[in-house]
Amino acid sequence: MRFSALVSGLVALVSCHVTSAAAEIVKRASLTQVSNFGANTSGVKMYIYVPNSLATKPAIVVAVHYCTGTASAYYSGTPYAQLAEQYGFIVIYPESPYSGGCWDVSSPASLTHNGGGNSNSIANMVTYTISQYNADASRVFVTGTSSGAMMTNVLAATYPNMFKAASAYSGVPAGCFYTGTVNGWNSTCSNGQSIHTQAEWANTALNMYPGYTGARPKMLILHGSADTTLYPQNWNETMKQWSGVFGYTYGSPQKTLAQTPSSAYTRYVYGPYLEGIYGAGIGHSVPVMGAVDMEWFGITGGGAGGGTTSTTTTSAGTTLVTSSTKTSTSAATTTTAAVPGGCTAARWGQCGGIGFTGCTTCASPYTCQFSNNWYSQCL
């Protein structure tokens, strides 16, 4: 009996050592899947990268892939893992559960705080990582490209208490892609035809977490003027949304910085909580700017500002701005011939901007309306 007890004790001791060693292996410099991170009713996969040079109380960056993408593809195609080695933070790479690789940014579940959709699953990944690695809950950031940028905006709206700062590359406003279905596609939104007031967009975001009045992540919104997948008007609408949330006036930035961060881009500074970067001639998607993100997150340079201490609903509004409100679902986006030697742009089409070479006259009864230096649209 004593020998048996001794053997059992040794087995338990060895088992404990192996488990501890395995945990160490998992957290060192490899993209690793985590299966049991918490509630996951929408079936999102979690992958994590923990660097060899892990900080004592590390920050977390959530990096969300594009349509057709995977966690592995975003891990390989973006600089966040290399930056993690340099600065000691952890990267979470969620992976969409759907065959097309897009994110659910269209259902009530995902567009509601703790609604049980994709956004809820990603939030639970963050909670798991904070607990597992003693990460700094006050330094959690999110970024993404295309569909991942849409999810970035949704996460900023549904879990504003979780994220300190966000950068969204070539996305759409939170709630713009609403269809009422899981993983739905909203052509009105993607074509830049969901146009609303600053107050309407702000309320769409605020109503994703009703009653919340705490701090919100500061937002960096990036887009290209030649994006024909998620049309560039979505940059304007996203800037409207977060201008409204933070109390800025859309269209009146405090600073306009030409050729920043490089020659093709202009940076619009609305204040400490909102900036936009717009690329002339840049298509879908804007290349990831790792150094810019690190500065914006406060990992390098100054600290992340953190967001407001309170928010105010600017007007009464419904929970979601749907694509049928103040928009046309059948508007054409092609250009049509007018008289010989000229052409007209159809409703919603681009009609001006620096570097633009297409039609500058709008089909009747629409007129060319200025959005920013790089983009004007027939409205």
Residue pair 68/77 in contact (Cβ under 8 Å)? The answer is no
Sign of CA dihedral 372, 375, 378, 379: negative
Closest CA to 46 of 90, 89, 94: 94
Q: Is 99 a catalytic residue?
A: no
The span from the CA of 100 to the CA of 183, in Å, is 9
- Cα of first residue to Cα of last residue in the chain, in angstroms, is 86
Catalytic residue among 42, 107, 121, 146: 146
Residue pair 166/159 in contact (Cβ under 8 Å)? The answer is no
The span from the CA of 376 to the CA of 379, in Å, is 9
Residue pair 134/90 in contact (Cβ under 8 Å)? The answer is no
The span from the CA of 173 to the CA of 202, in Å, is 10
Q: Could you give the residue numbers annotated as active site?
A: 146
